[in-house]
């Protein structure tokens, strides 16, 4: 059966039907890659795959990034465990962000597979950073072109993080959270050639050459602009659902509205390339 590309929202992302991650032909992989570049976010449903099959699928997209802060699925270093136990209050990814912007060479994206979902809640929101850029005025685009921003992991994964206590059983290697990275505020996506806004509320500290205080009003404006409802999609998970997002042109936000229930996701992250 041929892959069907189904629009599920005017915001961002498409669902790909007739895909079995464990048996993707080379021709179908090309269709998936084109859809991924075009939309920056693809969803799959009903994927009954083993960790080995999840890894084998991911390896067809690039080298796997082994996350230094996340717990790993036992026996599978390549798979980060994104879990919230029934008695845990804080979730992972519960705010708008794009992963790995704190790295000099940020990861391309992640293939997130739902293993256990709460009866209600635990959806993930996504927002489109192409639309965020396109919706800016010419004057604002001109102002932001040529500007850089400083990103860091220290305040999230480091010893002094506000999350250090709540996440002490889930995040590790706080001493490795030393990276700062500088990226253009507007990037040109390496595959699509489209321009995207590349600052985010979780990891961006300030504009290069500006103080945090000076940067805050403009960053706040960009963040509320980037999350206009029209730019977003809300994805409801079932066991076996997959979201594969591109970090260079989307943000995501894991909703934490399922207290007292367990949610377990397996995340494999693919290495990216330098951003310009
Ligand atoms: C993440 O931010 O990587 C996790 C997203 C989710 O659990 O929905």
How many whole angstroms from 182 Cα to the centroid of ligand 1? 24
Domain ranges of the chain: 4-270
Residue range 42-101, pLDDT digits in tens:
999 999 999 999 999 999 999 999 987 778 999 999 999 999 999 999 899 999 999 999
Asked if residue 16 has pLDDT above 90, the reply is yes
Task: Compute the distance between CA of residue 249 and CA of residue 255 in angstroms, rounded to an integer.
Answer: 20
Asked if residue 178 has pLDDT above 90, the reply is no
Per the CB < 8 A criterion, the answer to whether 78 and 50 are in contact is no
- Give the domain 4-270 fold: Double-stranded beta-helix (3.60.130)
Q: Tell me how far the alpha carbon of residue 217 is from its chain's centroid.
A: 24
Region 13-40: what's the mean pLDDT? 98
CA dihedral sign of residues 190, 192, 193, 194: negative
Residue 138 belongs to what H/E stretch? helix 138-144
Atom of ligand 1 nearest to the CA of 265: 7
Task: Compute the distance between CA of residue 232 and CA of residue 226 in angstroms, rounded to an integer.
Answer: 9
How many whole angstroms from 120 Cα to the centroid of ligand 1? 16
Q: Ligand 1 pocket test: pick from 254, 258, 264 the residue with the most ligand atoms within 8 Å of its Cβ.
A: 254
For ligand 1, which residues put their CB under 6 angstroms from it? 82, 92-93, 112, 124, 252, 254, 265, 267
What pLDDT sits at residue 175?
A: 61
User: Cβ atoms within 10 A of the Cβ of 81, count?
Assistant: 18
What pLDDT sits at residue 268?
A: 98
What pLDDT sits at residue 67?
A: 81
Q: Model confidence at 38, in pLDDT bands (50, 70, 90)?
A: very high
Q: Which of 216, 254, 225 is closest to 128 using CA atoms?
A: 225
Atom of ligand 1 nearest to the CA of 93: 2
Q: Which of 98, 150, 47, 152 is closest to 269 using CA atoms?
A: 98
Bridge partner list, 253: 125
The DSSP output letter for 41 is E
Residue range 157-172, pLDDT digits in tens:
656 666 655 666 656 6
Residue range 118-127, pLDDT digits in tens:
999 999 999 9
Which of 57-61, 152-156, 161-165, 201-205 is predicted with the least confidence, judged by mean pLDDT?
Answer: 161-165
Residue range 207-266, pLDDT digits in tens:
999 999 999 999 999 999 999 999 999 999 999 999 999 999 999 999 999 999 999 999
In three-state secondary structure terms, 230 is: helix
Asked if residue 201 has pLDDT above 60, the reply is yes
In three-state secondary structure terms, 219 is: helix
What pLDDT sits at residue 68?
A: 77
How many whole angstroms from 92 Cα to the centroid of ligand 1? 6
């Amino acid at each position: 059966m041929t892959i069907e590309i189904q629009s599920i929202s005017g915001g961002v992302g498409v669902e790909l039907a007739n895909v079995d991650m464990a048996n993707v032909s080379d021709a179908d992989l090309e269709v998936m890659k084109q859809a991924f570049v075009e939309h920056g976010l693809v969803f799959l449903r009903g994927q009954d795959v083993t960790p080995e099959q999840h890894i084998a699928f991911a390896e067809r997209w690039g080298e796997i990034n082994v996350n230094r802060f996340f717990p790993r699925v036992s026996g599978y270093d390549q798979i980060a465990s994104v879990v919230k136990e029934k008695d845990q209050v804080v979730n992972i990814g519960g705010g708008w962000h794009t992963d790995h912007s704190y790295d000099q060479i940020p990861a391309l994206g992640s293939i997130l597979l739902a293993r256990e979902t709460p009866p209600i809640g635990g959806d993930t929101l996504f927002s489109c950073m192409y639309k965020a850029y396109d919706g800016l005025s010419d004057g604002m685009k001109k102002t932001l072109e040529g500007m850089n921003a400083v990103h860091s992991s220290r305040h999230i994964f480091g010893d002094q993080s506000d999350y250090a206590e709540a996440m002490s059983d889930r995040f590790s290697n706080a001493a490795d959270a030393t990276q700062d990275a500088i990226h253009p505020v507007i990037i040109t996506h390496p595959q699509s050639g489209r321009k995207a806004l590349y600052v985010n509320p979780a990891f961006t500290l300030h504009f290069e050459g500006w103080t945090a205080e000076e940067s805050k009003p403009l960053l706040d404006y960009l963040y509320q602009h980037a999350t206009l409802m029209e730019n977003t999609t809300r994805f409801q998970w079932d066991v076996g659902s997959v979201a594969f997002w591109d970090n260079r042109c989307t943000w995501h936000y894991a909703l934490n509205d399922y207290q007292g229930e367990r949610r377990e996701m397996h995340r494999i992250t693919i290495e990216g390339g330098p951003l310009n």
